[in-house]
A and B are shown apart, each in its own frame.
Chain A
């Protein structure tokens, strides 16, 4: 091990190539998922992830774990990169239609949407299934219960525990709303 540097080593900062490698292994999947979700193009998503790690590497000294985790920092950089890319293209469809102003920026709406989708991937299949059937497909609880061969009360219970599981998953992902 090298002798400690004169400046205090910041845990998680991307100082060495090895740090970049580790950060990539830990976070690239999620970053790419969000980039793809917001940009809708695999090539641009790759470019965005690459630029995110390069910016993080160049600014490695500025990472402050007191403010947030490395993951949070990388997502903040990626958010800016995606905005830059969106401006460069300037052809992204607006989320709002019919003249209604969106309540949040499209980029943040994309982030929230991605977080919810990621949370859905993390919860159990049983919970996800009842939420998809009853909420996203809007089917009656009784009908879904019949399909699954369980009492209606069980569907209602799974909706409840599904929402609780989503809440935990969202916290893991970093949603702080």
Chain B
């Protein structure tokens, strides 16, 4: 006999929740011995019953809705990222997807050094950190300035509130701090920092994200403009 047609089936819910009186429970248990359909149904209902203590009945009526502005904010951020990523792709010809398969060690696979778009002739350098954890992305642009070097760092995919400390290493081995910033999900992940070290003397740039440090070499300009599109 299947559970659907069995006269006992409507007692299975109360039994799964432990609410049958002793005599009724004994009779049902005797029936279960010989009814595979009811046994299977009881087992399935018991799975549901096990979850019930985890629910808070105070929450059954409310179905909280996200604030109406949230969707637009997300779409605006997505649109901004798309624009910024297109701009970087155009200028640097980067293939971001390569970084995704990498492991979580500090290593550098790709460094792109190209001329900047300005007409001053002073080259800026773009450094992409590779071999980052899958969700993380870091790249930096270094531009020569009269005081030293302007460093723009773009970080994404780390926990909100994470402290990021940036440093540069000179050709002589000296290490200089280039400042720090805190990563925020809802704010600008594009930090503008500066260093007193001249770009021509900058050998490497490093960033300490939380407790992990990633370093990328800053190589001399040799193929400036090669990938530039007009």
When the two chains form their complex, are residues A160 and B13 in contact, meaning their CB atoms are under 8 A apart? yes
CB-CB < 8 A to A4: which residues of B? none
* Complex CA distance for A37 and B67, rounded to whole angstroms: 15
Question: A10 at interface (Cβ–Cβ under 8 A)?
Answer: no
Q: How far is the CA of A119 from the CA of B135 in the complex (A)?
A: 32
Judge whether B97 and A61 touch: CB under 8 Å.
yes
The reply to whether B11 and A47 contact each other, CB–CB distance below 8 Å, is no
Residues of B within 8 A of A50 (CB): 70, 73-74, 77, 185-186
Q: Are B48 and A170 in contact (CB under 8 A)?
A: yes
Whether B135 lies near A167 (C-beta < 8 A) is: no
A116-B10 contact, Cβ under 8 Å, with A28-B71, A32-B66, A88-B161: no
| Chain B positions within 8 Å of A157 at CB level | 10
List of A residues within 8 angstroms of B67 by Cβ: 42, 46
* Pick from A45, A47, A59, A160: contact of B135, CB under 8 Å: A59
Chain B residue nearest in CB terms to A158: B13
A141-B49 in contact (CB<8A) = no
Q: What residues of chain B lie closer than 8 Å to A128, measured between beta carbons?
A: 60
Give A89's nearest chain B residue, CB to CB: B161
Please tell me if the beta carbons of B66 and A51 are within 8 angstroms of each other in the complex: no
Query: How far, in Å, is A93 (CB) from chain B's closest CB?
Result: 14
Contacting residues, chain B, for A170 (C-beta < 8 A)? 48, 51
Per the bound structure, the CA–CA distance linking A46 and B70 in Å amounts to 7
* B interface, size bucket: 35 or more
How distant is the Cα of A126 from the Cα of B56 in the complex, in angstroms?
18
- The yes or no answer to B2 lying at the interface (CB within 8 A) is no
Is A38 among interface residues, defined by CB-CB distance under 8 A? no
A58–B185 CB distance below 8 A? no
The reply to whether B78 and A17 contact each other, CB–CB distance below 8 Å, is yes
When each residue 130-148 of chain A gets 1 if its CB lies under 8 Å from chain B and 0 otherwise, what string results? 0110111100010000000
Complex: how many Å from CA A134 to CA B14?
9
Query: With an 8 A cutoff between CB atoms, is B64 at the interface?
Result: yes
A134–B159 CB distance below 8 A: no
Q: Is B100 an interface residue (CB 8 A)?
A: yes
Say which residue of A21, A84, A159 sits within 8 Å of B17 (CB atoms).
A159
Q: Does A71 contact B (CB under 8 A)?
A: no
Chain B contacts for A112, CB-based, 8 A:
51, 54
Chain A residues whose CB sits within 8 angstroms of the CB of B134 once the complex forms: 59
Among candidates A51, A135, A153, residue contacting B52 with C-beta atoms closer than 8 Å:
A135
Instruction: Point out the residues of chain B lying under 8 angstroms from A92, CB to CB.
Output: none
15 A-B residue pairings within 8 Å (CB atoms): A28-B66, A28-B71, A36-B64, A45-B66, A47-B160, A49-B70, A49-B74, A54-B77, A62-B100, A88-B161, A88-B162, A115-B51, A157-B10, A159-B13, A160-B45
On A, residues with C-beta under 8 Å from B are 17, 20-21, 24-25, 28-29, 32-33, 36-37, 42, 45-47, 49-51, 53-55, 57-59, 61-62, 84-85, 87-88, 109, 112-113, 115-117, 120-121, 128, 131-132, 134-137, 141, 153, 156-157, 159-164, 166-167, 170, 175, 177
> Which 8 residue pairs across A and B have the least CB separation, nearest first?
A160-B13, A116-B55, A32-B66, A113-B54, A159-B13, A136-B57, A84-B159, A157-B10
